[in-house]
Amino acid sequence: MTPAVGDELAPLTMQFTRADLVRYAGASTDFNPIHWSERFARGVGLPDVIAHGMLTMAVAGRLVTAWTGDQGAIRSYSARFTRPVVVPDDDTGATLEVTGKIGALSEPDESGERIARVDITASSEGRTVLGKAVAEVRLPADS
């Protein structure tokens, strides 16, 4: 199938628990207490412990890599952190819902390759958590 402007990518839903945040902190070496200490997070004005912004952005990026099947196809990816993902201390945690739509397609270059702009929406509890989330993706000549 040839992609077209307006095509929607398959949505992605991800749960974050406090245990996930601890594992991510270990992998990223980001041990900021806003990601694990409710007392500290509330003390600095947050509603509760929040997910790492880069974890949120990375999960949103998975929407695009799942669509392309090739992490190397992403030329650029950017987003603004507009609202934190609050992760309650329970067995469910927080839900991140990610959707994407092809916002633009370039004309084929001399090799037949095109660039797709994917506009990404990431939300938690019905509120957008990433703003201006956009990925540019190389599409092979046969797509």
Q: Is residue 69 part of a domain?
A: yes
With cut-offs at 50, 70 and 90, classify the pLDDT of residue 140: confident
Residues 6+ apart with CB under 8 A from 70: none
Q: How many CA atoms lie within 13 A of 41 on its CB side?
A: 21
Using alpha carbons, select from 87, 89, 84, 74 the residue that is nearest to residue 128.
84
Instruction: Note the pTM of the prediction, 2 decimals.
Output: 0.91
Domain assignment of residue 93, yes or no: yes
Number of separate domains in the chain: 1
**112 lies in some domain:** yes
Q: What does the pLDDT read at residue 25?
A: 97
Using one digit for the tens of pLDDT, what is the confidence trace for 57-105?
999 999 999 999 999 999 999 999 999 999 999 999 999 999 999 999 9
Residue 39, domain member (yes or no): yes
Residue ranges making up the domain that contains 80: 12-139
